[in-house]
Chains A and B, each alone.
Chain A
Amino acid sequence: MRRTLELWTAALLLPLLAGSALAEVKTMDVKLKSGDEEIIGFLAIPDGKGPFPAVVVIQEWWGLNDWIKDNAKRLAGQGFVALAPDLYRGKVTDDPNMAGQLLKGLPRDRALRDLKAAVNFLTERDNVKKDRIGAIGWCMGGGYALQMALNDDRVKACVICYGRVMSDADMLKPLNAAVLGIFGEDDRGIPADGVREFEKALKKADKKVEDIQIYKGAGHGFMRAMNGPNKNPEYREDATKDAWKRIEAFLNKSLGGK
């Protein structure tokens, strides 16, 4: 096995949000080799020896914050090795002005290289099933989950949570992943008809579409309860519960979870 410097930060008991049994999840910061650079990733591992299917967890515009780490831990609790690479290289914020700058300045080629580095890292681990790797992202990360899957045929399952989509079937041809889409009907930036066009283009390109959900009464960012220290007014509890149920079922089906 490749020698990676793994900084064990915690080995904690994670109460499963879904309410089933407690599962032990280990978390640590790891170093990923992306081009000539070394970046940090947050890794969450299920209890047991594996090998497990794995998921790359992609941050929102805020950066690699606690919510993204919680989502990685949640997926580890469900039996997936979850790795969230830090696309912002250490920068994280709950200030929208700062987040906007970080998102808009992020070079796309570099982000996609980092995401490929995350898959490389996972495929080199003994406790990961190399042909069972998926991607999930929210907001900015939802768009990258799709771009990443288009850019890397090792990605077999792709969950886009209110991320940017596309409508050109020809451009979707390289996709090797099954797709689950989670959107909000009231999202001004990704209107429902754009989502439906995306679904049509996926089908035209003969891709596996598990489900494209558009939640009524939900807007952008509805799965996150908090905005930094404050409540997120966009949070929709029922839609979020349903979305997680679908995400877990989809990943289990596409990647063969526990």
Chain B
Amino acid sequence: MRSVLVFSALLLFAGCTGKDGVPEPAATVETVEYPSRNDTVRGIVYRPAGQGPFPAVVVLHGDAGLTTWEKEQAQRLCDLGYVALAVDLYRGQVVSGVLDAHIMERGLPEDRALADLKAAVDYLVSRPDVRGDAFGIVGWDMGGGYALDAARHDSRLRAVVVCYGRLTTDPEWLASLQASVLGIFAEKDEGISPETIAQFRAAMRKAGKRIADLHIYRGCGPGFMNPASPHATDAPAIEATADAWNKIENYLAAELKQRP
């Protein structure tokens, strides 16, 4: 494999012991580099304990960049038995505040972002501890929109979780999608209306694609799953977040772990 591994955290081969007495690899977190078009990009790989091969999930940040919160979500998915690759579409930049996030989001070249996401799947494919037939992608906010776009451009992605991210309403645009979709939405999201969600549902049906669930959480605003969001403290957000995670876990298990 060509990519250089930069170990940013523990890489322990001690501890657990396999059936035949051979020590099993422990869980690891490492920063990795891989090629994307003419560039080299970085991501963080969260790998579960054990030999694998594991199903894998690409974790996609919102418009503030790859923050601690997205890293925690990648760790959470790793704890559930997935190799989780947290990508960094902003290539090292993290911002705070709605204006700076906007400046970054609206400037991100879409062709580069989609190339980076294809490169992320290429990288996962190259890992011997990753199953070659079970790739998912989870994104929040801006990342939710890119998760769906990535899956439209990459047939290896079989499960997409869009958390309050941009949808597509044209069935022709969805023709190339090989993944099913789980959608997590917020009732108080001014940008993703119930009409748009209904248009997406109709377009998916017309394109012959499968929706696992599109759930609109009542009383919640966009970003409700992230404590940094102004909506995280809304009364229903805590319960909604727990329920959303429940849906995400069940969905990914059904789509990726239980694949024949």
Contacts and interface: CB of A to CB of B under 8 A. Distances in A.
A188 B107 contact: yes
Interface in A2-61: 61
B253 interface: no
B166 A107 contact: yes
B230 A97 contact: yes
Given A110-B170, A166-B112, A168-B111, A104 B100 contact: no
Contact of B169 (A91, A104, A109, A194): A109
A101 B190 contact: yes
A185 to B, nearest CB: 13
A192 to B, nearest CB: 12
Interface in B99-142: 99-112, 115, 141-142
Nearest to B174: A109
Contacts of B33: none
B145 interface: yes
A107 B166 CA distance: 6
Range class of the A interface residue count: 35 or more
Nearest to B108: A164
B238 interface: no
Range class of the B interface residue count: 35 or more
B170 A105 contact: no
B98 A102 contact: no
B222 interface: yes
A257 B168 CA distance: 37
B168 A163 contact: no
A164 B106 contact: yes
B112 A106 contact: no
Interface in A138-185: 139-140, 143, 162-168, 171
B183 interface: no
Contacts, number: 110
Contacts of B103: 187-189, 219-220
B155 interface: no
A140 B166 CA distance: 14
Contacts of B106: 61, 103, 139-140, 143, 163-164, 189, 220
Given A96-B98, A100-B102, A104-B145, A189 B108 contact: yes
B63 interface: yes
Contact of B107 (A61, A107, A164): A164
Nearest to B97: A96
A165 B109 contact: yes
Contact of B191 (A96, A105, A165): A105
Given A103-B191, A110-B170, A97 B107 contact: no
Nearest to A110: B169
Contacts of A162: 107
A90 to B, nearest CB: 11
Contact of A106 (B37, B101, B109, B166): B166
B161 to A, nearest CB: 16
B100 A166 contact: no
Contacts of B145: 104
Interface in B189-206: 189-193, 196, 199-200
A139 B200 CA distance: 26
B107 A105 contact: no
B102 A103 contact: yes
A107 B169 contact: yes
Top 3 A-B residue pairs of the complex, sorted by shortest distance between their CB atoms: A105-B191, A189-B107, A101-B191
